[in-house]
Structures are given as C-alpha cells and as structure tokens.
C-alpha cells in the first residue's frame, strides 16, 4: 500500500528549549485512504507534529513528506493537496458561511466555474445548507467545527490534517463529526487526525500513540488491544473507599484505574476467574453493596495506560542506571 505521509527521525526543538524536544525522532507511516489517529494527552506534541506535516512549521531535524513532497523543499506543493484544520476557529466570525467558503475557495485557487459546486457540496455534506447566510460567529460549537471542516475541504484535497477537531464540543456533535470523517475516507481522502479522546481512537483504522514527544506504539486499535497481556475486570461497589481498599489488598491484580464510579482491574488472563471469586468473597464478608463484577472488553484507554506505564518504568530504570554509572565514575575518579 502506498503511503500518503511518512516521517523519518522527525524532531522539533523550539527556541529556548535546551534539553527537551517538542517531538523527538518520530517515524510515521500513514497509508493512503486511511483514517489515522495521533493519540495523546495535552502537551504530548500532537500540534507540533501536525503543523510540520501541514508545512506550517519547519522541523529541526529529520525528514517528512506528504504525497511524496518534502515538507521543507515543497511546502507550496503540499498546501495545494492538503486541507488543514487547526485547533483554533480560523474562520471569519462576521462573514456568513457562504462568504467564508467563497474566501477559502479563492485563496486555495478553486476554479471559478467549479467554486459554487464545491461550496454547495461542502454545505450539503456537513448539513449546513440551511445556514449558509448565517454569520459564522453565531454558530454553535459543533457547527463551527463543521464549517471549519468545509473550508478545509472546499478545494478537494487528497489529504486532510485535523488538529483535535472535536475538542470542546458536545458528545452528539462529536459523533456527527466522526461520521463525516468516515464518509470522507470512503471517498478516498487520507485523514490524519489528532485527539486526546481514547474512544475516538477506536474509530480510526490506524493509530500512533504519542507521549512526551515520542511515538510509543503504532498499529490498528484491534491489534493493540488484542496484544495486551492481561484481562480486564470491571468492579463497582459501595462505599467506594472500602471498594478500593479491598482491591488494594487483593493479590494477582496487576494494576487498577478508576473510570467514573467504577474500577477497571488488570489481571493475568489465567487468574481472572480466581480474582473475581476472591473479590466476591471479600466484598460479601465486608458487607459492601456490590453492583458490578464482570469481565470487560479491552479498550484503547487500557492500551494507552499500559504503554505509558511501561514507558515510565523504562525511563525510571534508565535514570537509575545512569545515576549509578555517574556515581561509579565519581568513586573511581575522586
């Protein structure tokens, strides 16, 4: 399969950053026609990575290409074939939807004879046709996102780069937006989208987990969740404090994380039934109100937590080894 986007040891250090890079040695491959998600928390480097790929920001080192065009040497060519939607609402609030789309069509060089057809198609795709005369500043949050997507798509790009497009909108608008992305991908457009939401990661065909400026893992959501070397138990009981105490004192639980009013427990696959029996017995003995105790589906949230914990342990071990080496050298050279 051909790759729409590739990077090789891509790094970025901002002025004033002496030690830490915003992104470090990123190697990425985004297949043509895929919906690829860059998943990570705030500050992970998602915006920096996407701005480089959109040719808005130069990298410090390494290489990146979009549809075969180098981001440093062929920036103008890249801008003709991509649509870029930044986090911030970049449309003009005093202009109507129609006027905004006309403006973006003009700056993207859409031919005069094709412009109205493209504008009508984008408004129809995003269900905004009835609002074409409304000022952009008077739209709801979800509708603003749809307008921004329309403006990014009005010139019919082959690659769409979206930086956290659903941040700050309601759950219904988020679902509608992702349904739009699925339609766009079916039309042959490659979509690269960043998000901090793990449930959105499961909608992607491929994901790259970005943490502390580095891609820690890459693959399909199905493959990543299947590869987790443990099972998940979901537990809900009251009082919550006693529930947590029971969990903390139970053997064979590898880790646990609160999700709302429940706990998600990671246990070795061959210990799942045993742990559930022990928990059930302890909860009954302590007269807790047990509401849920069951096996649960592994999710991208579990993948993310597991990978980040593994990375933290590796980093801590490396720091200890480095410290021990430095101490040893000092002892040898007083």
Q: What CATH number does residue 241 fall under?
A: 3.30.70.980
Report, as an integer, the average pLDDT of 16-26: 84
Same-domain status, 281 and 133: no
Same-domain status, 117 and 258: no
Structural domain count, the chain:
2
Inside any domain, residue 137: yes
Write out pLDDT tens, residues 281-318. 999 999 999 999 999 999 999 999 889 888 877 665 54
Same-domain status, 88 and 159: yes
Residue 320 pLDDT level (bands cut at 50, 70, 90)? very low
Structure confidence at residue 326 (pLDDT) = 43
Range of the domain at 237: 229-297
- 67 versus 323: the higher-pLDDT residue is 67
Same-domain status, 128 and 39: yes
- Classify residue 119 by burial, with Cβ atoms within 10 Å: 0-12, 13-18, 19+: buried
Structure confidence at residue 322 (pLDDT) = 45
Asked which of 219, 244, 260 is the last residue of a domain, the reply is 219
Query: What whole-number distance in Å separates Cα of residue 265 and Cα of residue 254?
Result: 7
């Amino acid at each position: 399969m051909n790759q729409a986007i590739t990077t090789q040891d891509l790094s970025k250090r901002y002025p004033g950053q002496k030690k830490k890079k915003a992104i470090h040695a990123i190697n990425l491959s985004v297949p043509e026609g895929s919906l690829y998600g860059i998943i990570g928390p705030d500050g992970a480097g998602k915006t920096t990575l996407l701005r480089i790929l959109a040719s808005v920001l130069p990298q410090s080192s390494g290489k990146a290409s979009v549809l075969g065009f180098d981001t440093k040497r062929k920036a103008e060519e890249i801008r003709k074939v991509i649509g870029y939607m930044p986090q911030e609402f970049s449309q003009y609030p005093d202009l109507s939807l129609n006027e905004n789309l006309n403006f973006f069509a003009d700056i993207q060089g859409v031919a005069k004879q094709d412009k109205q057809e493209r504008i009508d198609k984008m408004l129809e795709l995003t269900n905004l046709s009835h609002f074409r005369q409304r000022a952009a500043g008077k739209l709801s949050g979800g509708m603003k996102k749809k307008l921004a997507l329309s403006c990014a798509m009005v010139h019919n790009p082959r690659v769409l780069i979206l930086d956290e497009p659903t941040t700050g909108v309601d759950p219904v608008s988020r679902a509608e937006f992702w349904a739009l992305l699925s339609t766009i991908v079916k039309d042959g457009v490659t979509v690269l989208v960043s998000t901090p939401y793990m449930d959105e990661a499961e909608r992607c065909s491929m994901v790259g987990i970005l943490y502390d400026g580095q891609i820690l893992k890459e693959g399909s959501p199905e493959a990543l969740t299947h590869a987790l070397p443990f099972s998940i138990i979901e537990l809900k009981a009251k009082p919550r404090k006693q529930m947590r105490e029971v969990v903390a004192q139970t053997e064979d639980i590898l880790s646990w994380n609160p999700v709302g009013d429940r706990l998600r427990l990671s246990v070795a696959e061959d210990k799942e039934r045993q742990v559930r029996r022990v928990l059930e017995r302890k909860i009954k003995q302590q007269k807790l109100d047990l509401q849920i105790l069951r096996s649960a589906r592994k999710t991208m949230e579990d993948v993310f937590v597991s990978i980040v914990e593994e990375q933290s342990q590796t980093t801590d071990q490396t720091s200890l080894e480095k410290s021990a080496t430095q101490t040893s050298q000092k002892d040898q050279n007083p």
